[in-house]
Amino acid sequence: MDHPHHPPPGHGHPPPQHGHYERTTAEFFNHASARRIDTQCVIATTLKREYPNLELTIAPIYSVNLLGFAAAGHATITPLTEDLCSSANKYPTSLSTTSYVPPARRIDNSPGFLVKDIIFAKYLLKWQSKEFILYIVDGRDGASAYPHLKNNYILAPSTHLSESLLLAAGKWSDSLLNEIWVYDHGRWEKSRELWESIQGASWENVILDGDMKEALIQDHLNFFESKETYKKLKVPWKRGVIYWGPPGNGKTISIKAMMKTLLDREDSVPSLYVRSLVSYAGPEYALSQIFQKARQFAPCYLIFEDLDSLVTDNVRSYFLNEVDGLKSNDGIFMIGSTNHLERLDPGISKRPSRFDRKYLFPNPDLKQRVAYCKFWQNKLKGNETIEFPDVLTQKIAEITDDFSFAYIQEAFVASLLTIARDSKEKEEILARSGIEDDWERLTLEDSDGSDDGGDDGDDEDLDKYVLWVEIKKQVAILREGIEHED
């Protein structure tokens, strides 16, 4: 800032006279400790009185994160924490709450971390050789039913300077850097964790019928390459598909593989993931926010996983209004997945132009089960404790008919844990089997899903293989559970 009315201390300027800075602090704490109506009005009035030669701009924190902008290296920011209040130290110069966040995974041996939530603070912010005085104030107004609003209060010689800063910081706040947009609890947030989870996703790891897999991939890629074709046909450039079928058969990993495929394109396509429609303002507001963000980032991939749980009867009309409404949804490819297609309203599941195509992910057939057993055989290759001959891939596949991939995985995991428990080489078995890994993230090596024509086991006593003995037990237990569910 060229010449702020009250230059902050410690920056080559003489310290302010008593009362210059503590006025806003005193007003805030007097206001916050009394019955109140509008914190924003009180702070704005006080700042204008305290800084008559500077222009005040107010911007909600949720719309632009100036502290994050500075932390990313685009500006410098210095807390103004000098004790400039009365000699009795009646008021602190800043106020925040500190919360403990536990580690995401206990096995990481992390102590967790602390998060500070600012209630009142003031800073000197420097951006592009200009100086700004920044107050961040949380106004907790009204009764508990009223949402509190936290604002940036920016003081600069001109409104133009503050707006230029806000535009730069806003553009940064809305950009993605190794992140995925996730909508949850009434707002969009950037998720580095979800981005990392899809980095190992690959179509090579998805066991599906070859023709179906190719159809899925081309359906998506053709859409994003066909904008001009849609335009020539004079139809909206939008599309929706549904993945459906029993759980555990590749719907989620297929979505992740497509997210990775689209991100890796030369003209990268961002993904927007909807985790819930919960919002303090209701589902109509949530869906409005969701489609507003999708339109902003179009062309994009908009994901509604567990669609039947998200779009229930009480939100169906709001959802259809956004899909069919007057606003353009050009460039939006919607993907919904469900284990229960019958729970979806027919107006959603059976109406082209909303969800145009449905892809069934059934329980794997024998050929696919053989491929999956070979995947486990490859994981255990080189483990001298567990014998896994070729003949077992066919035999295990045969006894797991009507099993999903998830159930077959459970049979292997439970069997290997039992064997490890009874073995002196427990750590070696667990390490070599990799059962702590998600099979969907691993590559199927040397497995084309076909029977290798090896010994069918008729002349062998398969019970000499401890894996075969144990996996038969686990399959019987799991099948009993499946039949009980039916």
Task: Please check whether residue 208 is in contact with residue 369, taking contact to mean a CB–CB distance below 8 angstroms.
Answer: no
Confidence band of 8 (pLDDT split at 50, 70, 90): very low
What span, in angstroms and rounded, lies between the C-alpha atoms of 422 and 414? 13
Q: How many CB atoms lie within 10 A of CB 250?
A: 22
Q: Is the pTM of this model over 0.85?
A: no
**229 or 82, which is more confident?**
229
* Span 199-209, average pLDDT: 87
The tokens 């908009």 sit on which residue? 302
Q: What is the DSSP pairing of strand 357-360 with strand 332-338?
A: unpaired
Q: Give the model confidence (pLDDT) of 356-415 as tens digits.
A: 999 999 999 999 999 999 989 988 887 778 899 999 999 999 999 999 999 999 999 999
pLDDT at 148 over 90: no
Q: Supply φ then ψ for residue 181, to 5 degrees.
A: -75, 130
Q: Which CATH number fits domain 191-360: 3.40.50.300, 3.40.50.1820, 3.40.190.10, 3.20.20.20?
A: 3.40.50.300
What does the domain layout of the chain look like in residue ranges? 22-175, 191-360, 366-485
Confidence band of 300 (pLDDT split at 50, 70, 90): very high
**164 or 177, which is more confident?**
164
Query: Please, is 242 exposed, middle or buried when counting C-beta atoms within 10 Å of its C-beta (0-12, 13-18, 19+)?
Result: buried
Percent of the chain scoring above 90 in pLDDT: 57
